[in-house]
């Protein structure tokens, strides 16, 4: 099955073969072919070029994309897409003055979500997550990482991970599962955190590994949640199962989590709203990828990850949605890109790199998605007629997407 997209105003993020992570000033480079054509064959990107060099292509379905841009779909490397119900009541409490941490300390927050997941059966959870994922694909997401961590019992954590496994089976996009048993200390272990950690490490992790339910492991390394010693225990346990880690760190406090993560070759450190010079130095001496989650900063009214400081220190940056019912109830990566420009002073080229190729590295799917390269999946965003690609973050909240192709096809879901 051949498809030819032609008269494309700008084909963005075009590369030959494998592309490394973009860092520092290279994040401003966005390779582009103006007035381009793109050939899709059997769901993969087969060839591309300038219109003036278009060869004769027989037997292809042709689509005229005059005035439109084509770019790789967004890669969302950090989400909590599986959950039982929303938490808009806590949102109202915050509007009335309570803080996110106060709500969590009173048994709301993650523990609230955990109670609901424990009471919800796998099918119901699956249907809710499935319909969220369909919405996100329509918004241009073509690869996604999904965490457990709202179960907090062995049964409920495994249930969440099985839901993610079912999503992997149904959806033809790259999906990665992350085991996050150490997301919060359940109320019944509030005076004996070590006993809960033992369950995570000695009971949950071996079962997760045995059933091959996770690609990565995560920990919420934060005051009031899991400290450095706890985090290190989980990292060491994960290493025994050859599971790389992606860690929630520095959301509210910087106290050495970044250094610990880099020493353990974590794949990514996510959040980083608080960032010290030591954190920057640790990142510079590592291959661990920093991930910013501006939707969480926007929603909670907390500082934004200092993107300019990271990039100006010649570091790479990844953007992700953090979609979850408590701190970021939107998985709209177009909005994430707009926030990164408006609030973090990133350039449109930098946000596109952060949300495509760099993000693909942050979930180890850079061989399949993240750029327009021959052999990669034809997971593509086709924009509406636009004056420039910078119009997308500029016109924040406006839907600039006309069509999303996954493996070269428009997905039909109901
Ligand atoms: O990434 N910070 C920890 N975990 C999630 C939010 C969890 C929740 O509030 O449900 C996050 O922000
Ligand atoms: Fe998160």
Residue 409: which of 37, 35, 1 has the closest Cα? 1
| Burial of residue 270, with CB atoms counted within 10 A of its CB: 0-12 exposed, 13-18 middle, 19 or more buried | buried
Residue 414 has pLDDT above 80, yes or no: no
Q: What's the DSSP call for residue 387?
A: S
Q: Express each pLDDT in 73-89 by its tens digit.
A: 999 999 999 999 999 99
Q: How far apart are CA 16 and CA 78, in angstroms?
A: 27
Q: How far apart are CA 370 and CA 228, in angstroms?
A: 33
Residue 270 alpha carbon, nearest atom of ligand 1: 1
| Strand order across the 289-292 sheet | 74-76, 141-147, 175-182, 216-221, 244-249, 268-271, 289-292, 318-319
Q: Express each pLDDT in 321-364 by its tens digit.
A: 999 999 999 999 999 999 999 999 999 999 999 999 999 999 99
> 246: Cβ below 6 Å to ligand 1?
no
Q: Tokens 């002073």 map to which residue?
A: 345
Residue 255 has pLDDT above 80, yes or no: yes
> 112: Cβ below 6 Å to ligand 1?
no
Q: Where in the chain is the domain with CATH 2.30.40.10?
A: 2-72+369-405
What is the sign, positive or negative, of the torsion defined by CA atoms of 327, 331, 336, 339? negative
Residue 52 has pLDDT above 90, yes or no: yes
Question: Considering the domain 75-363 in this protein, what is its CATH number?
Answer: 3.20.20.140
Residue 269: which of 209, 326, 220 has the closest Cα? 220
Q: Is residue 107 very low, low, confident or very high in pLDDT (cuts 50, 70, 90)?
A: confident
Helix (H, G, I), strand (E, B) or coil at 3: strand
- The helix (run of H) or strand (run of E) holding residue 244 is strand 244-249
So what's the pLDDT on residue 3? 98
Number of Cβ atoms within 10 Å of the Cβ of 336: 28
pTM of the complete model beyond 0.85: yes
Tokens at residue 88, please?
């808009």
- Ligand 1 centroid distance, CA of 336 (Å): 16
Tokens at residue 156, please?
């409920």
> 299: Cβ below 6 Å to ligand 1?
no
Helix (H, G, I), strand (E, B) or coil at 119: coil
Pseudo-torsion of CA 339, 341, 344, 349, nearest 10°? 130
> 248: Cβ below 6 Å to ligand 1?
yes
Residue nearest atom 5 in ligand 1 by C-alpha distance: 327
Residue 147: which of 406, 393, 321 has the closest Cα? 321
Residue nearest atom 8 in ligand 1 by C-alpha distance: 326
> 225: Cβ below 6 Å to ligand 1?
no
Residue 312: which of 24, 80, 10 has the closest Cα? 24
Strands (E), 13-140: 32-41, 44-50, 60-64, 68-72, 74-76
Question: Considering the domain 2-72+369-405 in this protein, what is its CATH number?
Answer: 2.30.40.10
Q: Where in the chain is the domain with CATH 3.20.20.140?
A: 75-363
Tokens at residue 326, please?
């408590």
* Number of residues that make up the chain: 414
- Ligand 2 centroid distance, CA of 219 (Å): 10
Mutate to test the pocket of ligand 1, among 220, 294, 304 (most ligand atoms within 8 A of CB): 220
Q: Is residue 93 very low, low, confident or very high in pLDDT (cuts 50, 70, 90)?
A: very high
Cβ-proximal residues to 253 (8 Å cutoff; 6+ apart), any chain: 222, 223, 274
Q: At what angle do helices 122-138 and 154-170 cross, to 10 degrees?
A: 40
> 77: Cβ below 6 Å to ligand 1?
no
Tokens at residue 1, please?
């099955």
How far CA 52 is from CA of 16, 241, 337, 413, in Å, comes to 20, 52, 32, 37
Residue 65 has pLDDT above 80, yes or no: yes
- Ligand 2 centroid distance, CA of 109 (Å): 12
Pseudo-torsion of CA 116, 118, 121, 124, nearest 10°? 30
- Ligand 2 centroid distance, CA of 349 (Å): 25
> 79: Cβ below 6 Å to ligand 1?
no
What is the sign, positive or negative, of the torsion defined by CA atoms of 131, 134, 140, 143? positive
Q: Which residues pair with residue 268 across a beta bridge?
A: 246, 289
> 230: Cβ below 6 Å to ligand 1?
no
Residue nearest atom 9 in ligand 1 by C-alpha distance: 326
So what's the pLDDT on residue 150? 97
- Ligand 2 centroid distance, CA of 142 (Å): 19
So what's the pLDDT on residue 105? 86
Q: Express each pLDDT in 8-28 by its tens digit.
A: 999 999 998 889 999 999 999
- Ligand 1 centroid distance, CA of 68 (Å): 36
User: Do β-strands 74-76 and 401-405 pair in parallel, antiparallel, or remain unpaired?
Assistant: unpaired
Contact status, residue 205 vs residue 244, Cβ threshold 8 Å: no
| Burial of residue 305, with CB atoms counted within 10 A of its CB: 0-12 exposed, 13-18 middle, 19 or more buried | buried
């Amino acid at each position: 099955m051949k498809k030819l997209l032609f008269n494309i105003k700008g084909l963005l993020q075009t590369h030959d073969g494998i592309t490394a992570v973009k860092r520092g000033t290279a994040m401003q480079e966005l390779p582009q072919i103006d007035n381009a054509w793109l050939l899709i064959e059997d769901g993969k990107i087969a060839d591309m070029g300038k219109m003036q060099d278009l060869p004769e292509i027989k037997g292809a379905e042709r689509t005229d994309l005059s005035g439109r841009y084509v770019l790789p779909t967004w890669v969302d490397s950090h989400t909590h897409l599986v959950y039982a119900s929303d938490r808009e009541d806590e949102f109202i409490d915050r509007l009335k003055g309570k803080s996110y941490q106060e709500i969590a300390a009173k048994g709301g927050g993650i523990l609230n979500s955990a109670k609901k997941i424990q009471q919800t059966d796998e099918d119901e959870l699956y249907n809710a997550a499935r319909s969220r994922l369909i919405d996100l694909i329509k918004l241009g997401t073509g690869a996604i990482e999904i965490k457990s961590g709202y179960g907090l019992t062995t049964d409920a954590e495994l249930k969440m991970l099985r839901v993610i496994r079912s999503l992997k089976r149904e959806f033809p996009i790259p999906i990665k599962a992350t085991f996050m048993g150490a997301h919060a200390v359940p109320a019944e272990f509030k005076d004996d955190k070590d006993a809960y950690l033992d369950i995570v490490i000695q009971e949950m992790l071996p079962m997760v590994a045995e059933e091959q339910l996770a690609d990565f492991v995560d920990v919420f390394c934060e005051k009031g949640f899991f400290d450095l010693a706890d985090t290190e225990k989980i990292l060491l346990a994960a290493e025994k199962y050859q599971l790389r880690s992606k860690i929630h760190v520095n959301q509210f406090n910087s106290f050495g989590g970044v250094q610990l993560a880099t020493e353990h070759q974590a794949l990514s450190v996510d959040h980083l709203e608080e960032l010290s010079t030591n954190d920057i130095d640790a990142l510079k001496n590592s291959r661990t990828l920093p991930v910013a989650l501006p939707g969480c900063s926007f929603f909670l009214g907390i500082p934004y990850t200092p993107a300019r400081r990271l990039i100006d220190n010649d570091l790479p940056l990844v953007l992700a949605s953090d979609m979850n019912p408590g701190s970021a109830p939107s998985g709209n990566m177009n909005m994430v890109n707009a926030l990164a420009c408006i609030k973090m002073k990133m350039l449109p080229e930098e946000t596109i790199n952060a949300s495509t190729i760099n993000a693909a590295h942050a979930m180890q799917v850079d061989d399949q998605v993240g750029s327009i390269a021959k052999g990669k999946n034809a997971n593509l965003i086709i924009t509406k007629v636009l004056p420039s690609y910078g119009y997308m973050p500029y016109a924040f909240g406006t839907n600039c997407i006309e069509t999303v192709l996954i493996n070269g096809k428009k997905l039909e879901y109901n």
